Structures are given as structure tokens and as C-alpha cells.
Amino acid sequence: MLHVSCFRHGFTNSYDVIKPFLEEFPNLSVGFSAMVTYRHAVQTKEAVKRIPLDRIVVETDAPYLFPRQVSKRLCVYSHPGLALCTVKEIASLKAMELSTVLSALRQNTTGLYGV
């Protein structure tokens, strides 16, 4: 049987919006960017808490979107290394160890992209 993965890029909405898709598409991964690090992203933060970790991947939206914690004075452009800020936020929201979340996200990324 062919395994096909689906990906919802740059999710910034509420859990109620993504829930039907998670139910309909069991191979759906949901991508979160640095937007989840912003205080005003209340609905997105709640979605992160409720979406199973094995269905989450992290995106950078580089070179434009900076994590809340990073000043543009520190670097001119966002880059993939700053995704760690997003991962830290996810770990905090899920009340999980950073190493556990990093390992799971690596597995998710491998499963989604085959890399």
C-alpha cells in the first residue's frame, strides 16, 4: 500500500479549524512557524497543545519571520537555525522536555519528507 503524507503549511488558526482535517486525513502533519512564539497567537498556542506531537512539524518562513525572542538587531534575516525558538515554544506549551520534542519532530520530518 502506498503511504501518502499530507502537510498543512503555516498553521496559525484554532484547533477547531484543523480538527476535521486531522480526523479526515490520518497522515496529515501540521506545520508551525515562529508565529507560535508571539503572545497574540493564543488560538495557535492552544492548537499546539491539542494536536498530537506526532502530527507536528516546524517551519522557519525564513528569511522573513523572526521568533518573538530574536531581535532584528541580532541578525538581518531569519534562518533555519532560529526554528529552535519555535521548538522550545512547542515544548513549553506541551510541558515536555526539549530533547523529547526535538526527537519527535525529527522523526516527523523524516516521515513527511523522507530525509
For the chain, 115 residues long, give each residue's pLDDT as a single digit of tens.
445 688 999 999 999 999 999 999 999 999 999 999 999 999 999 999 999 999 999 998 888 888 998 888 888 888 999 999 999 999 999 999 999 999 999 999 999 988 8
What's residue 90's pLDDT? 98
Distance CA 72, CA 24 (A): 40
Q: Are 33 and 68 in contact (CB under 8 A)?
A: no
Looking at the domain assignment, is residue 1 inside a domain? no
Helices 42-50, 83-93: inter-axial angle, 10-degree rounding: 70
Looking at the domain assignment, is residue 18 inside a domain? yes
The helix/strand/coil state of 30 is strand
What's residue 101's pLDDT? 98
Peptide bond connecting 67 to the previous residue in cis, omega within 30 degrees of 0: no
Give the CATH number of the domain where residue 109 resides.
Answer: 3.20.20.140
Q: Are 37 and 86 in contact (CB under 8 A)?
A: yes
What's residue 1's pLDDT? 45
Looking at the domain assignment, is residue 76 inside a domain? yes
**How many domains does the structure of the chain reveal?**
1
Q: What angle do CA 83, 67, 53 make, to 5 degrees?
A: 50
Q: Where in the sequence is the domain holding 90, given as residue range(s)?
A: 6-113
Q: Are 8 and 21 in contact (CB under 8 A)?
A: yes
